[in-house]
A and B are shown apart, each in its own frame.
Chain A
Amino acid sequence: MLRVVLFLLVILNAHASNALPNIIATPVELAQDPVWAALLHYETGYLRSQKSAISDPSFFYSPDGQTDLLAELQATVSAFSENPLEQCRFPARSLFLSKHFSQLVATVCPNYEDYLASINASSMSLIYASGYLGNPASMYGHIFLKFNGEKENDLLDNTFNYGARYPENENPFRYIANGIFGGYQGYFANQKYHHQTLTYNESELRDLWEYELNIQQQDVELILAHLWELEDIPMTYYFFEQNCAYQIARLLEMVTGKKLIAPGKVWVMPYDVIMMFERQEAKNWVRNVKYHGSRQQALYTKYAQLSEQEKGVLVTIIGRQPDEVTESLSSISDDSATRVIDNLYDYYAYLDKKNEGLTAKQIVTRKSAMNKRFDLPSGTSHFRAHNNAPPHHAQDTALLQISGLYNEEWGEGVELRFRANYYDLLSVNAARIPFSELSTFDVRALYQTEESTLDLRELTVLRIINLNAATTDLPEDSGYAWKIAAGYREQSITKPEEGSLYMDGFLGKSHAFSPNFALYGALSSTLTGKNNFGGYLAIGPEIGGVLNVSPNYAMSFSLRHQRFVNAPEHERTTFNFEQRFFNDKRFDLRSLLRYDDVFELSMSLSFYY
């Protein structure tokens, strides 16, 4: 009872309470504590003062709780002292306050204790899911938290995700607009890890990297306690800022005390949070990095290790009738047969997702192989693990570039370029989709030295290239190579001052001759807003390729010949050859040779952040 009285004294004498001997900190001081602000999700906007991102009144005790940290602190203490069971609603607040108020009345919260017991976490991991070009919301990757049980199987660990909820059968345009401009509410959600591996590794064929964090048990519990508080509490979701990466970073900042949101950017990306852990003192917070590859990667890893004979048998099984599986396998040892069948499982699992189902013949062949596998000795086949570079080895995502160039038509110039994100074919692309590009908001401005003019050369809103290169000789192991780009750019390198809106694309096929070399051939098309060259829509063949010669040197090229649909007598041939030198997260040196009626050569110094 005495404790409660003292507690109330703290509230009634908030500004003078530091005189009390058994109070470790005053409410005024506590209200300014970053952890308290984080627990209430306070944010400072560009044009407004501090305010909570949560507007649900049930999250606050004070009517002014959304805008007044001290008022909410006092109201919380008051509520906890009047009814200690209120701490069961907000166990993270209780943990925080109990560190500073010796009078806090301990209470038992059976439901909350059950929750902690069911998660039984001894450590915590940050999981990064690689990008997925099949859905705009997933292109930039994803992160979530995994709480690692002391003894249990990894697959039974609990995870917490943050994402937006949206109605079933949402219109795609509304989906994009609402996602970007805050039309959806975001929530944290809890799920077993095996659901995540099913979703990412198996269904979307995405790789996962697990960063086991060096975080104290009490901090793990603080995060779990706060996630308990956030059940069904919505926050406005913004795709480019208040997204999964932002919310997870905020949670981790609360316990690490380190900035995990990349500075100098008005957007937050999952990859940037990973990068921030690799910078400065935050690096010490990562204990271990583990790779969990997709089914597609498992197929490629195992296939590359099959002997030529085993590969031949695998191709034979895929091509022949299902009832000939046993006969096909009879020519090799039991050990080889298990390797072939295990690779066949990966192949059909991959096709099942890629083609949205297997054919009747494929289903029966898979069953025949599986029945044969049941007859073979027990035990998994042996393959070496794939040594895939983790995402923090990749280049940073925002680009500033300065180029000196010479153009046959108009002479010398200097070009400045800014690309908001993310990567291109020649970037140091660890943990990204092989032979792909994802660029947003790419701006180039050109200063012509002789003319002393400044022109906007390009403002590409979005450019995506995915070569989808086949890496095995197995049937159907390739998708379409495709590209789409849109924005504004010069119509020709001969006249940088004449620009127009444009859309570019191609559709074709590609092949990866090794993990470092791919070629493609495609039908390309270009739509322009002006017809200075004879037409608006041009189509024609395009070939190109990417070669990573060494970590320090990579090159790409493309050759395109197009004719205008409405004026076939007009044609254009363009050629690009680009090289990247050095292997560093923060900079590189590039050269670009372009041909478009005339030649242009540039040398560029790039900075990434």
Chain B
Amino acid sequence: MKKHTLIAAAIAVAGLSSNAMADDHMEKVNPWKQCGIGAMIFDDNGTAAAISNIIWDLGTTALSTKISSEESCNGKRTKVAMFIQDNFDVVLEQTSAGQGEHLNAMLEILEVADADKAAVLATVRGSVTADAQPEAYYNTLVAAI
């Protein structure tokens, strides 16, 4: 299941990263519902061929143009949603500590200015708890920017 999760995540990122941002639509996008992250993560739907332990996933982040999706799902917010979903345990641990490499990467995907990062993290840290789920965490993060 975990492998499928990453495969699905890889496919999703592949489809999401090859085009320009669609900032106009971003504010309205819920990556979990409109871009199918939830379905890809939690459904063992076998959409991708299994690949050996050596490769792990289809991984076509920069190459693929084969996965079609809504243009609004191609943006940085969907990418950060995927990042949060995949790395949620570590992201939440680092959020509780207030800093960490994954948090830096997360803010970099969102193109948060260096001067604003500490404030964004402080807001998120003050708003989430250990019970947070990835989607709620994402909403908190987006609201903090």
Chain A residues near B (Cβ < 8 Å): 111, 114-115, 118-119, 135, 137-138, 142, 152-156, 158, 161-170, 179, 184, 187, 189-192, 194-195, 198-199, 202-203, 228, 231, 243-244, 338, 341-342, 345, 349, 352, 366-368, 370-371, 373-374, 377-381
Q: How far is the CA of A136 from the CA of B92 in the complex (A)?
A: 33
Instruction: Choose one: A156, A194, A378; the contact of B97 (CB below 8 Å).
Output: A378
- Taking the closest CB of chain B, its distance from the CB of A574, in whole angstroms, is 36
With contacts A370-B96, A371-B130, A378-B98 taken as known, whether A195 is within 8 angstroms of B55 at the C-beta atoms is no
- Taking the closest CB of chain B, its distance from the CB of A293, in whole angstroms, is 13
With contacts A154-B101, A191-B56 taken as known, whether A118 is within 8 angstroms of B65 at the C-beta atoms is no
Most buried by A among B65, B130, B131: B130
Contact (Cβ within 8 A) A158 B105: no
Within 8 A of A (CB), among B78-100: 83, 86-87, 89-90, 92-93, 96-100
Q: How far is the CA of A486 from the CA of B125 in the complex (A)?
A: 55
Contact (Cβ within 8 A) B96 A373: yes
Instruction: Choose one: A118, A156, A203; the contact of B109 (CB below 8 Å).
Output: A156
Q: How many residues of B contact A (CB 8 A)?
A: 49
Q: List 13 A-B contacts (CB under 8 A).
A: A142-B54, A154-B105, A162-B54, A165-B50, A165-B51, A166-B52, A189-B59, A190-B59, A190-B62, A194-B83, A194-B87, A342-B93, A381-B97
Contact (Cβ within 8 A) A161 B54: yes
Question: Is B22 interfacial (CB 8 A cutoff)?
Answer: no
State the 9 A-B residue pairs at the shortest beta-carbon distance, nearest first: A378-B98, A163-B54, A163-B55, A191-B59, A370-B130, A189-B59, A367-B130, A168-B50, A373-B96
Instruction: Choose one: B50, B59, B125; the contact of A167 (CB below 8 Å).
Output: B50
Chain-A contact segment, one of B6-14, B25-33, B135-143? B6-14
Residue of A nearest to B90 (CB): A202
Contact (Cβ within 8 A) A137 B53: yes
Most buried by A among B54, B97, B100, B101: B54
With contacts A156-B109, A165-B49 taken as known, whether A118 is within 8 angstroms of B17 at the C-beta atoms is yes
Question: Is B122 interfacial (CB 8 A cutoff)?
Answer: yes
Question: Is B61 interfacial (CB 8 A cutoff)?
Answer: yes
Q: How far is the CA of A375 from the CA of B124 in the complex (A)?
A: 13
Instruction: Choose one: A135, A190, A195, A379; the contact of B53 (CB below 8 Å).
Output: A135
Q: How far is the CA of A206 from the CA of B108 in the complex (A)?
A: 26
Contact (Cβ within 8 A) A199 B56: yes
Question: Is B104 interfacial (CB 8 A cutoff)?
Answer: yes
Contact (Cβ within 8 A) A194 B10: no
- Taking the closest CB of chain A, its distance from the CB of B70, in whole angstroms, is 19
Contact (Cβ within 8 A) B61 A198: no
What 1/0 mask marks residues of chain B from 60 to 84 whose CB sits below 8 Å from any chain A CB? 1111110000000000000000010
Contact (Cβ within 8 A) B2 A111: no
Chain B residues within 8 Å of A352, by CB:
89
